[in-house]
Homo-oligomer: A and B are copies of this chain.
């Protein structure tokens, strides 16, 4: 884990957050701060700080005389990177992976189109470099190295779009990609067609061909969706 005690409250979060997002406490459950303080052997102060954070994620609601109640899943801030990480680590990971991939399929093509129009020369170079890196590592069971380039490529596209909302989805995409590789034990090398598509997207962006960049990226995300359909019915 990347969990290295940056404070008791953070440790608490790493315990409570996953438990709640995993549905361990059904919606409406109440947690009392005193009880939590006893259970985790920390002061109420620490509990309260953790609860404040969970509250800001809309995972729980703290009300007087009643306690800290768990909110229904529909109200959670599912765009919070931490919530995403917790849910991806939990039981309904496949479901989560699917909805995130659908989100990718909506956002990334548009982002690529914008990138074709607004990417700086430096960003184009980064894209090309990453695409070539993917080609170089696409054979011979170098999945980890491939993944690094893949993530960096998509991050670069999102950033080059010039839209901050897209740029901030880089973390989400990274989680999805690494989650996919780590989860569904991929023994085989990545699909050569997908690798080619990435190279072509880099080309299209470099040439400023927005519609082509968008179409090619749409092919990539459609492929990702189909792959998911095959492996998780």
Contact = CB atoms under 8 A, between A and B. Distances in A.
B77 A165 contact: no
Given A79-B79, A80-B80, A102 B165 contact: yes
A106 B111 CA distance: 8
Q: How large is the interface on A (under 10, 10 to 19, 20 to 34, 35 or more residues)?
A: 35 or more
A187 B97 CA distance: 45
A49 interface: yes
A142 interface: no
Nearest to A113: B106
Contacts of A224: none
A178 interface: no
Given A57-B56, A99-B164, A114-B102, A77 B80 contact: yes
A12 to B, nearest CB: 11
Contacts of A100: 165
Contacts of A28: none
Nearest to A98: B163
A69 interface: no
A168 B102 contact: no
A165 B80 contact: no
Interface string A40-57: 000001001110110111
A166 to B, nearest CB: 7
